[in-house]
Amino acid sequence: MGLKEEITRRHTFAIISHPDAGKTTLTEKFLLYGGAIQTAGAVKSNKIRKGATSDFMEIERQRGISVSTSVMTFEYDGKLINLLDTPGHKDFAEDTYRTLTAVDSVVLVIDCVKGVEEQTRRLMEVCRMRNTPVMVFINKLDLEGQDPFDLLDEVEKELNIKVTPLSWPIGIGATFQGVYDLYDKDLRLFEELKTKVEAAAVHIDDLSDPRLDEQLGGDAAALLRHDVELIDGVYGKLDMGRYLSGHTAPVFFGSAFNNFGVKEVLDTFVRIAPPPGPRPTDHGEVLPDEPKFSGFVFKIHANLDPNHRDRIAFLRVCSGRFARNTYYHHVRLDKDVRFSTPTTFMAAAKTIVDEAWPGDVIGLFDTGQFKIGDTMTEGANFNFRGIPEFSPELFRELVNNDPMRSKQLEKGIRQLTDEGVAQLFTQQPGNKKIVGCVGDLQFDVIRYRLEHEYGAACSFQTMQAHKACWLTSTNDAVLQQFIRTKALQIVQDKDGNPVFIAPSGYMLELERRNNPEITFHTTSEFKTLAVDKA
């Protein structure tokens, strides 16, 4: 099979949602249909009774939430699917934002009871920035939720995207009987399947077919006919061009927990979701069918296997063919490296692969040479764009509770911040370590992992800080004078770049006005770009 054939058979997507909307449960059911697992895990009462496949970290199993992006690869209906399950909790949003740079489309899960929630809006904003194609799955139809038409209106208004229903619920909550597949003209009757695949559908091409009344009863059949007529008049047929450009979202209804309405999503997804597309670089776009390999690192994870203390860099292949034991160019380090054990994933489980193609996500054993955003090529010198670190919202001083384990703490905090769990800044004199996060829960995860993975006991001390800004200037003398004058608020990031930690929003604006020759960047993307993308 050639390069173009390999590209067209691949779909790489992320599942995103607000916490508890059913994202990880939907992931499990996709894996069930793909034959990747035989029975799905269940998340109940915020405890994992049978651990969800995608929640592989110990702290995730304890808390019943996803705190790290998982990568899972499986085949379905002749297509190779790379599925990225992302954290839903807002405190881990940055991991999700970076993951969205590595996918070609998104499935957005919405709770029919709660509707569009805060984190849903934030994630959708990132998708809109990149014009990422989005499919919507409205979940938990077996519970007493909102009216489906009201939900569609809310999605359009709150997420600023047009919708086109491709399935429609018959009742809701206690009256939920199933869904009608508007795309394939199939009727699926509801039953609580949970860990099994759905029963075969009844094909009803014409809603005037008397079998509809036999299956649903007269009142429900009449309501479905009325609703479908209204849908056709208001929403019309799916415009594929607008879907692929990120302006229209197909919508499906179902219950992921009961494994109902899921197959419609997966069947339609493999037919209409885009294959791997072009990626922006600082030297123009790279097309997937270009013969030479290129890719970028969007995630790093230490201790994926606690027994081996390994460190894996997740690389998205963007063009050409990646081959095992072949030398490729590490652009930032300006050196050639090769990999003898590249892997594909099923959450924590890894399988060595000999080759990978555009759209694939592979794991590269990392000895500390990778950073998030690094570009690998087959000799060319360019950098993929759009994978920045954002200015943290919370800052804590890292306190060593066991001086005898200082080396372990130093190694641990550097490896964890390399993953993008948080950002690490160092202040002199004294080599003070400051950790920046976007949410309190991240500090709990860091403390837990430092203790259980590195044997280093620590605590965090609150400090007054508003925002971290990277500093650049065309006038080096002015920049150095500012650094000397503001020494108590100046730190260095892990690459040695000067960073100003503003104690308040007012002070940040004051310094910007008083120092017009200095640029205060709120993302780190200036490291690979000539302009700030904040």
Q: Domain for residue 532, yes or no?
A: no
Whether 97 and 234 share a structural domain: yes
Whether 268 and 299 share a structural domain: no
> What string of DSSP letters covers 281-305?
EBTEEE-TT-SS-EEEEEEEEE-SS
Mind listing the pLDDT tens digit for each residue in 66-76? 444 577 888 89
CA end-to-end span of the chain, whole Å? 42
Q: Of 315, 348, 377, which residue is a domain's last?
A: 377
Note the pTM of the prediction, 2 decimals.
0.78
CA 250 to chain centre: 20
| CATH number of 509's domain | 3.30.70.3280
pLDDT of residue 39: 52
Whether 124 and 171 share a structural domain: yes
Average pLDDT estimate for 359-370: 88
More confidently predicted of 288 and 2: 288
pLDDT of residue 50: 40
Q: Domain for residue 4, yes or no?
A: no
Average pLDDT estimate for 303-328: 82
pLDDT tops 80 at residue 203: yes
Q: Domain for residue 384, yes or no?
A: no
Whether 67 and 153 share a structural domain: yes
| Count of alpha carbons within 13 angstroms of residue 68, beta-carbon side | 29
For the ranges 27-31, 84-88, 90-94, 516-520, the maximum mean pLDDT occurs at 516-520
Q: Domain for residue 387, yes or no?
A: no
pLDDT tops 50 at residue 84: yes
pLDDT tops 90 at residue 492: yes
Whether 137 and 209 share a structural domain: yes
Q: What are phi and psi of 85, to 5 degrees?
A: -90, 125
pLDDT tops 70 at residue 197: no
Name the residue range of residue 501's domain: 394-527
Distance CA 328, CA 109 (A): 38
Whether 320 and 353 share a structural domain: yes
Residue 358: enclosing H or E segment and its boundaries?
none
Residue 495 confidence class, pLDDT cut points 50, 70, 90: confident
pLDDT tops 50 at residue 285: yes
More confidently predicted of 20 and 378: 378
pLDDT of residue 43: 31
| Count of alpha carbons within 13 angstroms of residue 293, beta-carbon side | 23
CA distances to 122, 325, 383, 387, 518 from 526, rounded to whole Å, are 23, 33, 12, 11, 13
pLDDT of residue 72: 84
Q: What are phi and psi of 8, to 5 degrees?
A: -70, -20
Q: Domain for residue 460, yes or no?
A: yes
Distance CA 344, CA 361 (A): 7
Distance CA 145, CA 514 (A): 54
pLDDT of residue 48: 32
Note the residue count of the chain. 534
Residue 278 confidence class, pLDDT cut points 50, 70, 90: very high
Whether 446 and 510 share a structural domain: yes
The residue written with tokens 């697992």 in the block is 37
Q: Domain for residue 192, yes or no?
A: yes
Mind listing the pLDDT tens digit for each residue in 220-250? 999 999 999 999 999 999 999 999 999 999 9
The residue written with tokens 């489980």 in the block is 349
Whether 359 and 213 share a structural domain: no
Distance CA 237, CA 250 (A): 10
**CA angle, residues 362, 363, 367, in degrees to nearest 5:** 145
Average pLDDT estimate for 367-393: 85
pLDDT tops 80 at residue 216: yes
Q: What are phi and psi of 47, to 5 degrees?
A: -130, 140
pLDDT of residue 309: 56
pLDDT of residue 58: 54
Average pLDDT estimate for 450-476: 91
Whether 117 and 245 share a structural domain: yes
Whether 324 and 404 share a structural domain: no
**CA angle, residues 331, 297, 426, in degrees to nearest 5:** 85
Residue 54 confidence class, pLDDT cut points 50, 70, 90: very low
pLDDT tops 60 at residue 489: yes
pLDDT of residue 531: 36
Neighbour tally for 229: CB within 10 Å: 11
Average pLDDT estimate for 422-445: 87
Q: Structurally, how many domains does the chain consist of? A: 3
Mind listing the pLDDT tens digit for each residue in 168-190? 999 998 889 889 999 888 888 88
Whether 399 and 511 share a structural domain: yes
Average pLDDT estimate for 286-305: 85
Mind listing the pLDDT tens digit for each residue in 100-153? 889 999 999 999 999 998 888 878 887 887 889 999 999 999 899 999 999 999
Whether 57 and 42 share a structural domain: yes
Percent over 70 (pLDDT), the chain: 85
pLDDT tops 70 at residue 57: no
Q: Of 377, 412, 434, which residue is a domain's last?
A: 377
Average pLDDT estimate for 308-327: 88
pLDDT of residue 276: 96
Which two tokens mark 261? 């309405």
Q: Report whether 187 contacts 205 (CB < 8 A).
A: no
Mind listing the pLDDT tens digit for each residue in 3-39? 999 999 999 999 988 888 888 889 888 888 887 665 5
pLDDT tops 60 at residue 89: no
pLDDT of residue 526: 60
pLDDT of residue 93: 58
Q: Of 231, 248, 272, which residue is a domain's last?
A: 272
Using CB atoms within 10 A of its CB, is residue 304 exposed (0-12), middle (13-18) or buried (19+)? buried
Mapped onto helix, strand or coil, the DSSP state of residue 167 is strand
pLDDT tops 50 at residue 65: no
pLDDT of residue 265: 93
Residue 193 confidence class, pLDDT cut points 50, 70, 90: low
pLDDT tops 60 at residue 62: no
| CATH number of 104's domain | 3.40.50.300
Q: Domain for residue 350, yes or no?
A: yes
Average pLDDT estimate for 400-422: 87
